Amino acid sequence: MIDAACSSGVVNADGAPSAATENFPVALRILPVRYREALVAIYEVARAIDQLGDAAPGDRVAALMAFRADLRRLGDGQQPSEQVLRDLAPYATRFTLPLQCFDDLIEANLVDQRVTRYATFDALLDYCALSAHPVGRLVLAVFGQSTPARAGWSDAVCAALQVLEHCQDVAEDRAAGRIYLPQDHLAAEGLTDATLLRPANAPALRRVVLREVRSAREMLRAGTPLVAQLRGWGRLAVAGYVAGGLATADAIERARGDVVTNAPVKPSRITMLRHGIRLLLTRRA
| Burial classification of residue 207, based on how many CB atoms lie within 10 Å of its CB (0-12 exposed, 13-18 middle, 19 or more buried) | middle
Per-residue model confidence (pLDDT) at position 285? 58
The ranges assigned to domains in the chain are 28-280
Per-residue model confidence (pLDDT) at position 276? 93
Q: Domain 28-280: which CATH class?
A: mainly alpha
Per-residue model confidence (pLDDT) at position 166? 97
Among 124, 132, 205, 133, which Cα is nearest to 170's? 205
CB 211 within 8 A of CB 188: no
Tell me whether the omega of the peptide bond preceding residue 264 falls within 30 degrees of 0, making it cis. yes
Rounded distance between C-alpha atoms, residue 172 and residue 170, angstroms: 6
Q: pLDDT digit of tens for each residue in the chain (285 aa)? A: 334 433 333 333 343 333 333 434 444 678 999 999 999 999 999 999 999 999 999 999 999 999 999 999 999 999 999 999 999 999 999 999 999 999 999 999 999 999 999 999 999 999 999 999 999 999 999 999 999 999 999 999 999 999 999 999 999 999 999 999 999 999 999 999 999 999 999 999 999 999 999 999 999 999 999 999 999 999 999 999 999 999 999 999 999 999 999 878 999 999 999 999 999 998 765
Per-residue model confidence (pLDDT) at position 81? 96
Per-residue model confidence (pLDDT) at position 16? 36
Per-residue model confidence (pLDDT) at position 263? 79
**Residue 260 CB contacts under 8 Å (≥ 6 apart), including other chains:** 170, 171, 197, 202, 205
Other residues' Cβ atoms within 10 Å of the Cβ of residue 94: 11
